[in-house]
Amino acid sequence: MLKTLDILIGGVTVLLVFSMAVTVITQAVNSLLNRKGKYLKAGLATLLQQLGIPQKDYALEIAEEVLKNPLIANVRGGLGEVIHREEFTKLVLDLASGQGSTTLSSDALKALQSALQANGISDPAKTLQNVRSMALQLEASNPELANHERDALAILHEAASDLVARIDSWFDQTITRVADRFTAHTHLVTLGIAVVVVVAVQLDIIAVLNRLSIDDQIRNSIVSNAASQVSNSAAGGQVDAKQYYGLLSTAGLITLPVDNNWVGQLKDWRKLPGMALSILLISLGAPFWYNVLKDLLKLRSSMAQNDDQQRTQRQTAQPATSDAATSGGTSAGAVPAPAWLSGERGDLTAVG
């Protein structure tokens, strides 16, 4: 049973190592392309259209300026990836006032001001000033309130209008849909990168499991290293994947593109099922396999303790039963014969 568990631990460790590479590459791609910011921009533009800006181009321009505000933008000055409801409301008022750090084109500004006026905000600059004054008063009178709570109360008190009602009604749903779309996009990117990684190293998880089942040295090496890596990671460290890459390459379980036989081995159709399975499993992500590995290691530790206890019991003489004497003359302290030995042969102790 322990051998089977060790094979599973070895296979999960291999999947974790390559899932880490896929996860890191996916995060880098999304960060460089600013995909989350772009999805957030599209979601806010849709919300702005619900507020009364029918032109999609103007809505996109306003949403972009909101997310490029220095307080919202990312570290590279690109589109911000996170914005709160109160921040969005205040930045919309700031843009409509024309006095903020970012400005709109004249057409987009007129469209925004018209939408705000239609929703009960005729003077965005004055309304924003009142909101800030009220937030300051709340901070002085109720310092225990969190910042977002003060902002929310100030907006509700000084900017109570159809605009605020619409934003409060639709903002959370909009952000939820943005998150769902970004998650779906990330899954597709992860799957695509998993294909590239698996094909690049020709990872056949079926062959890996077969090798682990017959090669005790590799299996024990991976399992022992996996336990130490998980403990180091729990202490704040990171899983070191380089040693696993070297071990798998030396064992011939992966083939790097620098190998002269890489193309020839890729044409081996027997690898295709294992590679396809590797792609699907790796695309589940490093966090998933890390949690699975931790659970398997805990199970292995528990099973190993039970196995040691059973081995100790087998190797230790057991005390004889004091009531073992039978009516047929069996001496006291002897272990009685099992009932199933009686059968048709009768009581052998009665002979003689």
Burial environment of residue 212 by CB neighbours within 10 A (0 to 12, 13 to 18, 19 or more): buried
Tokens of 325: 């004497």
Phi, psi of 82 (to 5 degrees): -140, 135
* For residues 6-13, average pLDDT: 89
pLDDT band at 304 (very low <50, low <70, confident <90, very high): low
Cβ–Cβ under 8 Å, residues 244 and 251: no
* For residues 182-187, average pLDDT: 94
- In our burial notation (b when 16+ CB lie closer than 10 A, e otherwise), range 263-285 reads eeebeeeebeebbeebbebbbbb
Round to whole Å and give the CA distance between 245 and 259: 14
C-alpha to C-alpha distances, 238 to 88, 226, 233, nearest whole angstrom: 37, 12, 5
Strands (E), 285-345: none
pLDDT, one tens digit per residue, over 17-55 is 899 999 999 999 999 999 999 999 999 999 999 999 988
Please tell me the predicted confidence (pLDDT) of residue 313. 62
pLDDT band at 325 (very low <50, low <70, confident <90, very high): very low
203 or 1: which leads in pLDDT: 203
Entry pTM: 0.75
CA angle 301, 306, 312 (to 5 degrees): 125
Cβ–Cβ under 8 Å, residues 272 and 207: no
Cβ–Cβ under 8 Å, residues 119 and 161: yes
Query: Any idea where the domains of the chain sit in the sequence?
Result: 2-27+186-304, 35-180
Please tell me the predicted confidence (pLDDT) of residue 337. 56
pLDDT, one tens digit per residue, over 199-210 is 998 899 999 999
DSSP SS3 for 177: helix
